[in-house]
Amino acid sequence: MSDGGHMEENKSHSRNKLPADYAEILYRRHLQGAIVRSVASVFMWLFALAAYLANIIKLNHFTGISLSVLFLVLINPPTLLLLKHITNMRLYKYGSLLINFLEILGYTALIYFLGGIEATFLTPIYAALITYVGVLAPRSYTYTVAFMCSAAFSFVVISEYFGLLPNQSAYPFFNPSLMFRLTNLASTIGLLVVVAYISSLTSGTLKKNRDRLHEKNVELMKKTASLEEADREKEILLGEVHHRVKNNMQVISGLLDLQASSSENPELIAMFHESQSRIQAMSLVHEKLYGSKDFTRIDLADYVRTLSKELLQSYKINQGKIDLIVQADGEVYVDINKAIPCGLILNELISNALKHAFPGDRPCELRIIIHETKNTEIEIVVRDNGLGLPDDVDIHQPRTVGLHLVNGLVEKQLDGQIEVRRDNGTEFQIKFPL
């Protein structure tokens, strides 16, 4: 065979190969059908048993029904095992039709042993099978199954009349004419064809809806993947931005430190150090954001703990001298627009306390309280037991750069309020909306 022939053969094999996931779905459907078939058959046998015990049907009827039910149950294991090992689409279709054929034989045997033409009332079993096939199988299958049901029932009715099959009538004196049998048969076949037609339409509608739903799911999955990719790129970009801003601020802080070391003016050196501290407070916000999974907000309590420790080290204060306490109601988050003003405010207040509140060797306590109020506000309290803020200092009309910065940030950046208490030290109370 030529190479072209081999390629065509491979393409044909590929088209007929049953995908593993689709094969699993089909197998589960057949397994469900087998369970339903077995349970329904057992219920029919129980009804037959009750009818036999009530002397409504005879032993030959009950024996035939029992064998038919046994057949319907026993066909399940080998047919399911066969389907489990089929990987070809065309063979799988033939296997499905084989199961439907065996199922129809079992149902037809039930009808036959309950009287044949007398048991026409059981032909809805055929209709139920056609409907079930119409929901799950291709549209053409409904007509194929309807034809097999009609042929099987016709064989029983006609064979009984011509004596090809023993008469299983429950009423020995009931012997309808050929015309009655043919009319009954035609009506049954007509109803089965109508059911097949309706099931075929339903199957087509369901297929269109499934295909449309599948297309929408594929489109949604693509959009979701695209959004997830954009979100990952955004996170990488934001992380890089925060990282670079932090590095740039550290460079500026280093330049200020270098400038301070080259100056001999104590006031100028102090100004450089204060500016350096403020830059480090802002840099710490970006550092926390860069190390967080959420690039839009930080845990304010965690930020304060880190900031206060860095300030203690910056002012070369022994941690044993000052009892630094940070209280918070769990995690208190603020977004980046409020995090930087909060960082600058806390930097000023903690720095002022460390520089001016604790002269000598007296016991010192600096307490920072952060919590969220019931009015969806953040309240920050910075309290010390030091010398206290002088009485001539008005927080709303400050004369120092630090307190002027604090007041301006609270009112203009945070839209908040600030109050000061001077009992046994100094206490700043700041409230602002989330």
Q: Counting beta carbons within 10 angstroms of the beta carbon of residue 282, is it exposed (0 to 12), middle (13 to 18) or buried (19 or more)? A: buried
Is 353 in contact with 384 (CB distance < 8 Å)?
yes
Tokens of 293: 């999974």
pLDDT of residue 4: 46
Full-model pTM = 0.49
Give the whole-angstrom CA distance, residue 297 versus residue 373. Answer: 18
Q: Is the dihedral of CA 200, 205, 208, 213 positive or negative?
A: negative
Q: What is the mean pLDDT of each run of 10 residues along the chain (434 residues)?
A: 44 60 80 86 87 86 90 89 82 85 89 80 83 76 88 87 79 73 86 86 76 83 80 66 66 72 75 72 68 74 83 74 83 83 85 78 82 86 85 81 86 89 87 87
Tokens of 412: 């203009």
Is 103 in contact with 30 (CB distance < 8 Å)?
no
pLDDT of residue 6: 43
Is 65 in contact with 44 (CB distance < 8 Å)?
yes
pLDDT of residue 1: 42
Closest C-alpha among 84, 93, 52 to residue 69: 52
Give the whole-angstrom CA distance, residue 4 versus residue 276. Answer: 77
Give the DSSP H or E segment for 368: strand 364-372
pLDDT of residue 201: 82
Maximum alpha-carbon separation in the chain: 131
Closest C-alpha among 272, 278, 276 to residue 344: 278
Q: How far is CA 44 from CA 12, 60, 318, in A?
A: 45, 16, 90
Q: Counting beta carbons within 10 angstroms of the beta carbon of residue 125, is it exposed (0 to 12), middle (13 to 18) or buried (19 or more)? A: buried
Give the whole-angstrom CA distance, residue 366 versus residue 84. Answer: 74
Q: Counting beta carbons within 10 angstroms of the beta carbon of residue 138, is it exposed (0 to 12), middle (13 to 18) or buried (19 or more)? A: middle
Collapsing DSSP to helix, strand or coil, 322 comes out as strand
End-to-end CA separation in angstroms for the chain: 78
Write down the H helix ranges in 291-314.
300-314
Report the top-level CATH class of 298-433: alpha beta
CB-based contacts of 276, cutoff 8 Å, min separation 6: 253, 256, 257, 260
Within a 13 Å sphere around the CA of 279, how many CA atoms are in the beta-carbon half?
19
Domain boundaries, the chain: 12-226, 298-433
Give the whole-angstrom CA distance, residue 46 versus residue 54. Answer: 12
Give the whole-angstrom CA distance, residue 151 versus residue 145. Answer: 10
Closest C-alpha among 53, 195, 82, 41 to residue 132: 195
Phi, psi angles (nearest 5°) of residue 431: -130, 140
